[in-house]
Copies of this chain bind each other. A is one copy, B any other.
Amino acid sequence: MRPKIYLFGDSITEMSFGDGGWGASLTHHFSRAVDVVLRGYSGYNTRWALRVLDKVFPAEIDVGNAGEPLAVTVFFGANDACLPDRCSAFQHVPLDEYEHNLRSIVSFLKMRWPTTHVLLITPPPIDEAGRLLYPYFDNTSGLPERTNEAAGAYAKACIAVARELGIPVVDLWTKMQRFPDWQKSFLGDGLHLTLDGNRIVFEEVINILTREGLSLETLPVDLPHIKEIDPIDPLKAFKI
């Protein structure tokens, strides 16, 4: 039985199997070693995520599974950070509640699976011009429903929670802004990821998993690799 890595988050997770998506790249990377399981829910914030935790990770999934999951990525904040007085206000979650909710999500996962690596990912930066060009809901205000400054505050809160709980975190908000033209290189509509944006998330997640001891070097390959199969007597590799 192969071990699993769950990807839990909002639309940036749900869309992670589109062309060049970071979820697809993780699956490709671990194609003979890990089942990557998609649990992305577009539009969700941590308040809603907390309400559905026991449905996303029901107790039954442990039965008949390959032990505890290797890892769970928890990638929320882009919706929590919608401004409370703009057109996506219904998705907004106050900063202190966001922190509290993240702690509760991590604690649920750690209680269920003490050895599982829980990995936080901060929201990405926001390109406000992009958000005005590609509105998700009717927006006649001329003001973006998300700002980069607000996303940054949630990213910092996410990092603080990770430090407090002693778990790894990808600081996507800072990482992306180190590159020139991050607004267009990494974000297609001011929020969701381009090919290059997806590549950064993939690389950062792989870096952390490797640091945590989860890599192709340490994980067993499922069934004999073609290189281990003797051309003279191929069936030898399949004898028990």
Q: Which of A30-38, A139-147, A160-168, A178-186 contacts B (4 or more CB under 8 A)?
A: A30-38
Pair A20/B19 contact, Cβ less than 8 Å:
yes
**A1 x B60 contact (CB < 8 A):** yes
CB-CB nearest in chain B for A60: B64
A61 to B61, Cβ gap below 8 A?
no
Bin the interface of chain A by size.
35 or more
Q: What is the total number of copies of this protein in its complex?
A: 2
Chain A residues in the interface with B (C-beta under 8 A): 1, 14-15, 17-21, 23-25, 27-28, 31-32, 35, 37-38, 40-44, 47-48, 51-52, 55-56, 58, 60-65, 89-91, 222-223, 225-226, 229, 231-232, 234-235, 238
- Complex CA–CA separation, A196 to B158 (angstroms): 40
Contacts of A63 in B (CB 8 A): 63-64
Which residue from chain B places its CB closest to the CB of A51 in the assembled complex?
B238
Residue of B whose beta carbon sits closest to that of A227: B43
Additional pairs, 14, CB under 8 Å, beyond known A20-B20, A31-B40 = A1-B61, A14-B32, A17-B28, A21-B24, A35-B38, A42-B225, A42-B226, A43-B226, A48-B229, A52-B223, A63-B63, A64-B65, A89-B231, A90-B229
